[in-house]
């Protein structure tokens, strides 16, 4: 019985350690996309507990800033194609 228990214990230990080592690795970092940043801003705004008027004003500011940023990036892409 001891001949079976010892290898089984070693296998369980190795599997457990490899599982813990896999959980300890961090995912690769990457920059947020513009859409993710916008979504994070809107979610953070919802958690502030503002009145409806203040919420709508802040939401409009975020959306306007995103639209202006999108317009500026589209102008840059058009300028890049003009050669």
User: Is pLDDT larger for residue 3 or for residue 53?
Assistant: 53
User: Is pLDDT larger for residue 79 or for residue 34?
Assistant: 34
| Segments making up each domain of the chain, as ranges | 32-83
pLDDT digit string, tens, across residues 29-58: 899 988 899 999 999 999 999 999 999 999
For 6-13, what is the mean pLDDT? 89
User: Is pLDDT larger for residue 82 or for residue 77?
Assistant: 77
pLDDT digit string, tens, across residues 56-70: 999 999 999 888 887
Whether the predicted model's global pTM rises above the 0.75 cut: no
Handedness of CA 58, 33, 67, 79 (dihedral sign): positive
CA atoms within 13 A on the CB side of 58: 16
In the 3-class helix/strand/coil scheme, how is 41-58 assigned residue by residue? HHHHHHCCCCCHHHHHHH
């Amino acid at each position: 019985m001891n001949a079976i228990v010892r290898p089984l214990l070693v296998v369980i230990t190795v599997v457990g350690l490899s599982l813990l080592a896999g959980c300890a690795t961090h995912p690769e970092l990457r920059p947020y996309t513009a859409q993710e940043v916008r979504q994070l801003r809107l979610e953070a705004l919802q958690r502030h507990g503002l009145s409806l008027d203040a919420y709508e004003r802040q939401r409009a500011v975020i959306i306007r800033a995103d639209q202006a940023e999108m317009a500026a990036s589209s102008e840059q892409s058009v300028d890049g194609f003009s050669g």
